[in-house]
Amino acid sequence: MKMANVYHLDLSRSMLKGAALALLPGDPFRVPKIAAQIEARSGEKAVELAWKREYRSFLGTLAGEKVLVTSTGIGGPSTSIAVEELAKLGVRIFLRVGTAGAIQPGMNIGDLVVTTASVRLDGASTHYAPIEYPAVSHPEVLIALIDAARRHEREGISTHVGITASSDTFYAGEERTDGFSHYLLRRLRGLTEEMKRLHVLNFEMESATLLTMCAALGLKGGVITGVVNRRRKKEEKITPERLRAGEENVIRVALTAAERLLALRKKE
């Protein structure tokens, strides 16, 4: 009997072939880039499984185990759908591989951020746990990411470990004034400076939802992002060159972390 596919991702449990770890970029066009790097490490071809709406999926082999790469789209609502449907198919480890804007001095384009926890500036996560509930990385995933980052330091990749601010919106929610109206609600003015003073490292849009869901549902979640712009007095443009630098570094380190997590899973 053919197993039904989950509605949004258009995947079935049999298609995943036992994959328990998923790498989650936001951008569907980053999925084949990650898949290509998995192929380079394993020597086995990664196969595209589905592409429906913002959700694009490839299946590959890493450290002798099947791994999934699925895009989540932008923001918490679409991320929540990806996590829900992948968990139904047997995925238990979720590793976000994304990009972010740095807000602390001393952070540069191409640097990486390993998220210990997220400031919940989103709304989707409140559908899984009250706002007082922390959005924290799973210890195993966090340690694997930090260890992988240290192993890649010799390649000139700098990594920062700390708290991320995760917002529902790219413009207003990250205090950008270059939106259509150039207007921000009073409660959002000064947000970047407040986050800086609270030692938050970066802004992005998915980690709060992912980490809250994983903690609340008994799954293992973690987040690593590449810096593609720096939030200074003058907003930096996200150029193709900056995006490429952030993407290449974050993919390399994320795959090394995934290999460690898969090795740990074999011992369980």
Catalytic residues: 8, 85, 176, 231
Asked if 164 and 227 count as a contact pair (C-beta separation under 8 A), the reply is no
Q: How far apart are CA 138 and CA 218, in angstroms?
A: 10
Q: How far apart are CA 187 and CA 152, in angstroms?
A: 40
User: What residue type is 146 in one-letter code?
Assistant: I
Token pair recorded at residue 265 = 């899973």
Q: Which helix (H) or strand (E) holds 258?
A: helix 240-267
Q: Which helix (H) or strand (E) holds 86?
A: helix 76-88
Token pair recorded at residue 97 = 């591989």
What interhelical angle do 240-267 and 139-151 show, nearest 10?
120
**Residues 113/117/120/123 CA torsion (nearest 10 deg):** 90
Token pair recorded at residue 17 = 């072939």
Between β-strands 220-230 and 93-102, what pairing exists: parallel, antiparallel or unpaired?
Answer: parallel
